[in-house]
Amino acid sequence: MEPRITLITLAVADLQRSLAFYRDGLGWPTEGIVGEEIENGAVVFFDLQKGMKLALWPRTSLAAEARVAAEGMSAATFEIAHNVHTRQEVDEVVALARAAGAKVTNPPAHRAWGGYSAHFQDPDGHLWEIAWNPDPRFAVD
């Protein structure tokens, strides 16, 4: 099997609220909510780099599709990392997230591993790390 991730889906409690957070708060472009005419189909897509996408899907819809319980999420079970070009960009992204309503759980700071990073939670509690990493293996194109 070829290891490849093309889409990350975040289960959200309120699709409109999460759309506003990412589109209006963080400035990510999107067509908005699509698929509303399909049962459990309402979803939001954001184009990321190199063909990758981020989707926001109501938690109840994802649970119905996957046939799992909709409850039981812990912030410490999953993290999305967004690497940026500079330390200053870490500060800028965190400021945008905070202004959009994110809860900053770990403010921007120099880290023991040599980089500069911060953590915040989006309106549904999803954990994000915003990082500048001096290691060339994590260089941002």
Which amino acid is present at 124? D
Q: What is the pLDDT of residue 73?
A: 66
Q: What is the pLDDT of residue 135?
A: 86
Q: Is 22 exposed, middle or buried (0-12, 13-18, 19+ CB in 10 A)?
A: buried
Q: Give CA–CA dist 17/123, Å, rounded.
A: 8
Q: What is the pLDDT of residue 77?
A: 65
Q: What is the pLDDT of residue 56?
A: 95
pLDDT-flagged residues of the chain (< 50): none
Q: What is the pLDDT of residue 99?
A: 98
Domains of the chain: 7-65 (3.10.180.10), 77-135 (3.10.180.10)
Cross-strand partners of 140: none
Q: What is the pLDDT of residue 3?
A: 76
Q: What is the pLDDT of residue 76?
A: 65
pTM of the model: 0.83
